[in-house]
Amino acid sequence: MISTASGARSRSRLSPRATVRRNSFRRLLALGVGGLLSMTGVVALSGPAQAASTLGGSAAAQGRYFGAAVAANHLGETPYVNTLNTEFTSVTPENEMKWDALESSRGTFTFGAADRIVSHAQQQGMQVRGHTLVWHSQLPGWVGTLGAADLRAAMNTHITEVMRHYKGEIHSWDVVNEAFQDGGSGERRSSPFQNKLGDGYIEEAFRTARAADPAAKLCYNDYNTDGVNAKSNAVYNMVKDFKQRGVPIDCVGFQSHFNSNSPVPGDYRQNLQRFADLGVDVQITELDIEGSGSAQATSYGNVVRACLAVSRCTGITTWGVTDKYSWRSSGTPLLFDDNYNKKPAYHAVLTALGGSDDGGGTRSCTVSFAKQEQWGDRYNGKVTVTAGSSAISAWSVPVTVGSGQRISATWNGTPSWDSSGMVMTMRPNGNGSLAAGASTSFGFTVMTGGNTAPPALGGCTAS
């Protein structure tokens, strides 16, 4: 959808608020009473009789959202969408709401990809975090060429037009992103905004944002501010000053990109708390933790427990759904692996949120795919199913073939098909029992139709 800057526009979709209300109700029914109370802003019931079995459901029972960064170009991939819809209650467009995506030429706005994400979220009753209005990166070249007066006008127009387009549809906006330098200087980062407009541009951006959509929460968002350090002190002082002078700011986002060089700080909770004590909400906005296994799981659990210990920590967003599409893919930093299997970190997060996905036991399975024989027009594929730390008695695995492909034969399993013929759900032939850690496999032939890509595996479900 392309429009020129002209203030509020008519929308082709359903009235956004009506859509959100209708679908929120559907989703709240699915989440149960704990989720309903917390997502409608009423205090959540404590001690639900049955623990929620998803990230979003268990976070809702704690009065929080649990979100993921989403890319519009993955919304056609069935396992991606199934995982997103099942597990998450909030989305952040990973790149689609950045300045270069929305206004690559001055005054011409392109909302199509971002709208697709917002529509998807609304259909699922999910919240949307807006990311981001004013940032030095992913900024089209024309912005840097403007003189001060023109740049001020362009910044305010960009904020106003984008926020009006999504008025009433965005829960929280990252109004200004990453405005401070790394290291100990506590200074503002060099950018066209900083260099030409001076320190006051941040305040001006927040005031413009409040006028454009008074219902949206307005956040400052940054990285390496997760513990108490020179950079977070500088942000803290800015927020304190804003609160004292009545500059509109409602929340601070802590990106929380962690790895072995930058682990979860020991004072993470204290840092969140000191910001909350200034009278703003705090949100964990881009969480990912490189690593694997129990070390990664422990770090994830610590982050979730820190958020839950701070009453104004209103939600957590992981920076992606699956390791496959992470910006740090090789560091496997997310909760679902390349095949959408739940990782140990997933279970640590779910447990920290008070949820449980195994009815009290620990039944789980993982899957992996390998191409076997290949011919001119077809290849054979093999999927290995491995039980987790407990024995299982049944399993199922969705397999989605790509464009032009068709599965012509299967073995060692009982398939069922969706109406498109592209999604096959495979279950065991007869007895599906597997001892803890034991594996089995099934196979199939893919007629490629010229497309030799491997199929997408959905997560393995065990019982």
Residues that bind ligand G3I (CB under 6 A): 94-95, 137-138, 223, 255, 286, 327
Q: Which is nearer to ligand G3I, 172 or 255 (CB)?
A: 255
Q: Which is nearer to ligand G3I, 327 or 369 (CB)?
A: 327
Tell me the three state secondary structure of residue 97.
Answer: coil
Kindly state the smallest distance separating residue 138's Cβ from ligand G3I, in Å: 5
Task: State yes or no: is 286 an active-site residue.
Answer: yes
352 touches 401 (CB < 8 A) = no
Q: Which is nearer to ligand G3I, 94 or 281 (CB)?
A: 94
Cα–Cα distance between 425 and 236 in angstroms, integer?
A: 51
Kindly state the smallest distance separating residue 285's Cβ from ligand G3I, in Å: 8
CA distance to 97, 220, 291, 333, 381, per residue, from 71 (Å): 11, 22, 23, 17, 28
Q: Which is nearer to ligand G3I, 40 or 137 (CB)?
A: 137
Kindly state the smallest distance separating residue 223's Cβ from ligand G3I, in Å: 6
Residue from 41, 44, 86 nearest 68 by CA: 86
268 touches 302 (CB < 8 A) = yes
Kindly state the smallest distance separating residue 179's Cβ from ligand G3I, in Å: 12
Q: Which is nearer to ligand G3I, 319 or 395 (CB)?
A: 319
Q: Which is nearer to ligand G3I, 281 or 288 (CB)?
A: 288
In Å, how far from its chain's centre is CA 119?
A: 15
Q: Which is nearer to ligand G3I, 317 or 461 (CB)?
A: 317
Kindly state the smallest distance separating residue 225's Cβ from ligand G3I, in Å: 12
Residue from 132, 126, 234 nearest 176 by CA: 132
Q: Taking CB positions, which residue lies at the least distance from ligand G3I?
A: 327
Q: Which is nearer to ligand G3I, 73 or 408 (CB)?
A: 73
Kindly state the smallest distance separating residue 124's Cβ from ligand G3I, in Å: 22
Kindly state the smallest distance separating residue 205's Cβ from ligand G3I, in Å: 16
Tell me the three state secondary structure of residue 200.
Answer: helix
Q: Which two tokens stand for residue 352?
A: 């920290």
Kindly state the smallest distance separating residue 100's Cβ from ligand G3I, in Å: 9
Cα–Cα distance between 259 and 417 in angstroms, integer?
A: 41
Pairs from 338-343 (Cβ < 8 Å, separation ≥ 24): 339/79, 339/366, 339/367, 339/368, 339/369, 339/457, 339/459, 340/79, 340/80, 340/82, 340/83, 340/457, 340/458, 340/459, 341/365, 341/366, 341/367, 341/459, 341/460, 342/459, 343/292, 343/296, 343/297
158 touches 99 (CB < 8 A) = yes
Cα–Cα distance between 163 and 175 in angstroms, integer?
A: 10
Cα–Cα distance between 237 and 201 in angstroms, integer?
A: 16
Cα–Cα distance between 318 and 311 in angstroms, integer?
A: 19
Catalytic residue among 77, 87, 286, 290: 286
59 touches 51 (CB < 8 A) = no
Cα–Cα distance between 296 and 334 in angstroms, integer?
A: 9
User: Active-site residues: which are they?
Assistant: 286
